[in-house]
Each structure stands twice: as structure tokens, then as C-alpha cells.
């Protein structure tokens, strides 16, 4: 009678079903550098990758200056939903997501109504706004 079948070795980059590695999207986000007062001209001043304070009036009447926006960096951006966009050069935008084009991120702002195109190479991160605290 033959013995038990020899155990197959798996490739080192393929975990078995019982042990799964966390996807890279679940790693803790990078720390955002602190901002100076000159950042007031940008749409938002990030505190961390999970929330951001609204600065400016480009999204009024939906969001007012000083409101705290809650962000989920793990949910994908969806057409018509609001996003926080971290750009190169420490600029941050809070706008309505329209679409990704081959060369740019297309956004919409409410005040004044205008469609914006941000070159793809300037976009560091784009996160979905999932809630707002009006008290700030």
C-alpha cells in the first residue's frame, strides 16, 4: 500500500489558502508633511490621510470652510462622488470626481461651476470623501 502523497512545495510568492498576506492597499498610509500658512490658497489642508479640513469656497454650498471631511483611502473613486486629491508640490484639492482620462484626472468644482483637468503625473493620491463633520 503506498504511503501518503508527497507534499507539493509552493512557490515562495504564493501563500497557501490558510495564510494570506495583507494587500498593499491595507498598509498604513504615509505621513503627510506639515503645512505652512501659505497652504490656505489650496482647497484643503490635510491633517492625515483619513480626514482633511476644508479651506476655501470652491465646493460651497456642499462644504463650507472649516468643515472636517472624512476620507476613505481604500474605496475607489466613483463618478459624481467627492474626492480629496493630493497633488505634487503639497497641493490638495477637494472636488467632484468625473473620470480618469489617459493623460489627466477630470474633476468638477461647484463654485464657480467649472470642469478641471489635473495632469496624471501631478496626482499623487485620490481618495473618496465618505462623511463630513460640520462642526470642524
Looking at residue 14, what is its pLDDT? Answer: 41
Residue 60 lies in a domain: yes
Percent of the chain with pLDDT over 70: 62
Residue 72 lies in a domain: yes
Residue 7 lies in a domain: no
Cell of 69: 471631511
| Owning domain of residue 99 | 39-133
Spans in the chain with pLDDT lower than 50: 10-29, 31-43, 45-48
Residue 110 lies in a domain: yes
Task: Quote the CA–CA distance of 124 and 73 in Å, as a whole number.
Answer: 12
Cell of 28: 498604513
> What pairing do the DSSP bridges indicate for beta strands 104-109 and 114-119?
antiparallel
Contact 75, 130 (CB under 8 A): yes
Looking at residue 4, what is its pLDDT? Answer: 64
43-60 pLDDT, tens digit each: 454 444 576 778 788 888
Looking at residue 8, what is its pLDDT? Answer: 53
The H or E element that residue 130 is part of is strand 123-133
What CATH number has the domain bearing residue 92? 2.10.109.10
Looking at residue 67, what is its pLDDT? Answer: 87
Q: Is 20 helix (H, G, I), strand (E, B) or coil?
A: coil
Residue 73 burial (CB count, 10 A): 15
Residue 85 lies in a domain: yes
Residue 19 lies in a domain: no
Amino acid at each position: 500500500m503506498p504511503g501518503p502523497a508527497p507534499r507539493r512545495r509552493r512557490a515562495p510568492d504564493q501563500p497557501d489558502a490558510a495564510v494570506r498576506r495583507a494587500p498593499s492597499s491595507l498598509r498604513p498610509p504615509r505621513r503627510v508633511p506639515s503645512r505652512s500658512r501659505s497652504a490656505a490658497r489650496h482647497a484643503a489642508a490635510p491633517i492625515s490621510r483619513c480626514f482633511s479640513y476644508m479651506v476655501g469656497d470652491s465646493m460651497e454650498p456642499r462644504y463650507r470652510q472649516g468643515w472636517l471631511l472624512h476620507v476613505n483611502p481604500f474605496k475607489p473613486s466613483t463618478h459624481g462622488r467627492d474626492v480629496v486629491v493630493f497633488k505634487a508640490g503639497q497641493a490638495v484639492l477637494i472636488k467632484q470626481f468625473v473620470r480618469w482620462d489617459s493623460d489627466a484626472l477630470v474633476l468638477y468644482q461647484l463654485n464657480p461651476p467649472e470642469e478641471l483637468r489635473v495632469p496624471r503625473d501631478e496626482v499623487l493620491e485620490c481618495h473618496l470623501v465618505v462623511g463630513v463633520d460640520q462642526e470642524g
